[in-house]
Chains A and B, each alone.
Chain A
Amino acid sequence: MWRITWRRFRRSRLAVGALIYVSLVTLLAAAAPLIANPARLVPYGPDDVDVAHRLLPPDPEHRLGTDDLGRDVLARMLHGARVSLTVGFLATAIALVIGSLLGAIAGYYGGAADWIVSRAIEVVLCFPFLFLNLGIVALFGPSLFTVMIALGLTSWTTNARFMRGEFLRLREMEFAQAARASGARDTRIMLRHLLPNALAPVLVSASFGVASAILTESALSFLGFGVPLPTATWGSLLNTAREYIQFAWWLALFPGVAIFLTVAAFNVIGDRFRDALDPRAE
């Protein structure tokens, strides 16, 4: 099944491009300390203040210009990618674990368990997403850790819904009944028999989840409630840009493009992955 899905996924050039882009950004982020380093390709650290060269437009020396303290924008963006992707992946992983667990229990056992989980989802969905995240981060103090936990705790609902739906469908299928008849325990049926079959749709929602987490993290940083300064993040770069909007266009342009392309790439991958899984499409 995975091979067929991959073949169908590959047919979209846009999606393959997005996948290549995401891999590239992940690599660059992982290697940021090696690239943006006084002796290397981008000869500046992310926190190298140089007030004499502040607010310089892009030129061959500072390829994307410098910020209000003379720090190299490219170097800061490379390091910012680390924050964005770490938060994106880990927050989604937390949401995936919570959502899958609750959704699986709700779908498999039904009845009271299902009822409770469904009500819990309704309650969480009532809180405007950004309000809740801002609130949690502010109450517990902004840090990489709180941002990740807050995002994970608030964005599991979609995963739970998908997982619940899949388990509801799968538990009635013959292979699940066969497993039950042969005396397998519930946990074994859920983990070994149902989960592998339910994974694909949940991974689709995880791909959208990464996009949304990156977007929310940068919004929080932009508002000043993300990972605290001086750590460079794409959102906090834009926060600086806001103060110099009158004359320093490069401060606003490049980090925004980075956020947009990364978020769009994860959305495109999720969208194409969903279509590739759907036998009715095309």
Chain B
Amino acid sequence: MLTYVVRRLFYAVLTFFGISIIVFVLIHIVPGDPVLFYVPMGGSGTISPAALQAIKHAHHLDEPLLAQYRWWLQGLLTLDLGTSITARRPVAELIGEKLPNSFQLNGIALLLAAAIGVPIGLWSAMRSGRLSERAAAVTFFLLYSLPSFWVALLLMQLFSVRYDILPLFGMRSEQYLQLSTGARIVDRLTHLVLPVVTLAYAQLAIFARFSKAAVTDVIRQDFITTARAKGVAPGSVLWRHAFRNALIPLITLLGLTIPYLISGSVIVEQIFQWDGIGRLYLESILKRDYPTVLGLTVVTAVVTLLASLAADLMYAVADPRIRLGGGRAT
């Protein structure tokens, strides 16, 4: 167990360096001098060479590339991601402000997708081959191919424009502050419905397929045949032998879905004008606010890294073959 954890941590540190190098390279191949990241833009573009040199020196941009990388890495580790050109505030602060909004949206979507998708997957594995299961499989497969931005448009068209039962976009109504506590909760929930559905439906399909595959995999194995042969009741074979083993790979899936959710939130937050990191990212790109763009790139990559690390460690705790054997079989 300990060797596994140490090795996994070591790889995570390596991956972190890889991420930091890629983003550092991106900073330097962006058109324009990186020093412009730090120039308080008035739009006039009149900055004296001496002042420019001073800024360069203050941010170590006059040093060799390797030294620059070291300074940049140090900033990263102390959560100093530079200053946003447009907001004129530290990028880390800006991200910290928007991150909870994204977590709220993504967290609910993830829980919903898992809570519905996993039982459907288990059910499909039991009914494998029957007509109802095959119909469900095709439906989920098609669901997975639906472009989320299109689904969002159709949902808005149907529920907000035609029937006017859900708000078109935003996180809360304009008169939110005048509402009573109960009405506030209802208001926030109604604003969540469409974005959460848009984020969750594709995840749902992934969860259903993945858990079905996991159970089917386990059912094929010898110990299930043994359990059946020695006369364990069929229901007990499924619940006690198959499902418990099949749930372990799902931990990995939880880690793997994080980057998909973050990607999806760019689209969903933009369409529904949800004030999260996805929208911040897109707006920063539009305004050519590179420090924010690159800061967000690093932060989302590190969040993904931490999620997959956590998933792997949880996997190790859940699976005695790794806990005791010191490594994963595959």
CB of A267 within 8 A of CB of B150, answer no
CB-contact partner of A135 in B11, B26, B157, under 8 A = B26
Given contacts A139-B26, A263-B147, A267-B145, whether A223 and B282 have CB atoms under 8 Å apart is yes
Q: Are B259 and A128 in contact (CB under 8 A)?
A: yes
B304 at the A/B interface (Cβ < 8 Å)? yes
The reply to whether B26 and A260 form a contact with Cβ atoms under 8 Å apart is: no
Segment of A51-59, A85-93, A116-124, A182-190 in the binding face: A116-124
| Contact residue among A128, A225, A252 (Cβ-Cβ distance under 8 Å from B262) | A128
B259 touches A129 (CB 8 A): yes
A contact residues around B293 at 8 Å (CB)? 135, 138
Q: Are B150 and A252 in contact (CB under 8 A)?
A: yes
B15 touches A122 (CB 8 A): yes
B260 at the binding interface (Cβ < 8 Å):
yes
Asked if B138 contacts A14 (CB within 8 A), the reply is yes
**What residue of chain A has the Cβ atom nearest to residue B152's Cβ?**
A242
A98 neighbours in B (Cβ, 8 Å): none
| B281 sits at the interface (CB 8 A) | yes
A155 to chain B, nearest CB (A): 12
Would you give the 0/1 interface string for B20-47, flagging 1 where the beta carbon is closer than 8 Å to chain A? 0010001001110000000000000000
Number of interface residues of A (CB under 8 A): 43
How many A-B residue contacts, CB cutoff 8 Å? 129
Interface string of A118-158 (1 = CB under 8 A from B): 01101101111111101100110000000000000000000
Asked if A245 and B156 sit within 8 Å, CB to CB, the answer is yes
Stretch at the interface among B178-186, B265-273, B321-329: B265-273
Other A-B pairs beyond A130-B263, A135-B293, A260-B145, 17, CB < 8 Å: A120-B18, A122-B11, A126-B15, A126-B259, A126-B308, A127-B259, A128-B300, A128-B301, A130-B267, A138-B293, A235-B149, A256-B147, A256-B150, A256-B153, A263-B145, A264-B141, A271-B141
Whether A215 is near chain B, meaning CB under 8 Å from some CB there, is yes
Contact between chains at A252 and B18 (CB < 8 Å): no
B161 and A130 contact, CB distance less than 8 A: no
A241 to chain B, nearest CB (A): 6
B11 contact set on A, CB distance < 8 A: 119, 122
The chain B residue sitting closest to A130, CB to CB, is B263
B204 contacts the other chain (Cβ, under 8 Å)?
no
Residues of B within 8 A of A246 (CB): 161
- CB-CB nearest in chain A for B258: A128
Minimal beta-carbon separation of A205 from chain B (angstroms) = 16
What B residues does A96 contact at CB under 8 A? none
| Residue A194 at the chain B interface, CB threshold 8 Å | no
25 contacts across the A-B interface (CB closer than 8 A) = A119-B11, A119-B15, A122-B11, A123-B22, A125-B259, A127-B22, A127-B300, A128-B260, A128-B301, A128-B304, A129-B260, A129-B263, A134-B282, A135-B26, A139-B26, A139-B30, A219-B267, A223-B149, A225-B285, A242-B271, A246-B161, A252-B157, A260-B147, A267-B144, A268-B141
B304 close to A127 (CB less than 8 A): yes
A-contact 0/1 string along B191-233, CB 8 Å cutoff: 0000000000000000000000000000000000000000000
A211 to B147 alpha-carbon distance, docked (Å): 11
Q: Is A238 interfacial (CB 8 A cutoff)?
A: yes
C-alpha spacing A14/B14, complex, angstroms: 45
- Complex CA gap A134/B11 in Å reads 27
Contact of B142 among A123, A219, A223, A264 (CB under 8 A): A264
List which A223-282 residues lie within 8 A (CB) of chain B.
223-225, 235, 238, 241-242, 245-246, 249, 252-253, 255-256, 259-260, 263-264, 267-268, 271
Min CB–CB distance A10 → chain B (angstroms): 18
Contact A131 B149, CB 8 Å, known A119-B14, A126-B259, A256-B154? no
Question: Residue of A at shortest CB range from B298?
Answer: A127
A255 / chain B contacts, CB cutoff of 8 Å: 150
**Which residue of chain A is the closest to B209 with respect to CB atoms?**
A271
Give chain B residues whose Cβ lies under 8 Å from the Cβ of A119. 11, 14-15, 18
Closest to A139 in B: B30
Interface: A108 (CB within 8 A): no
A238 touches which of B30, B150, B260, B296 (Cβ 8 Å): B150
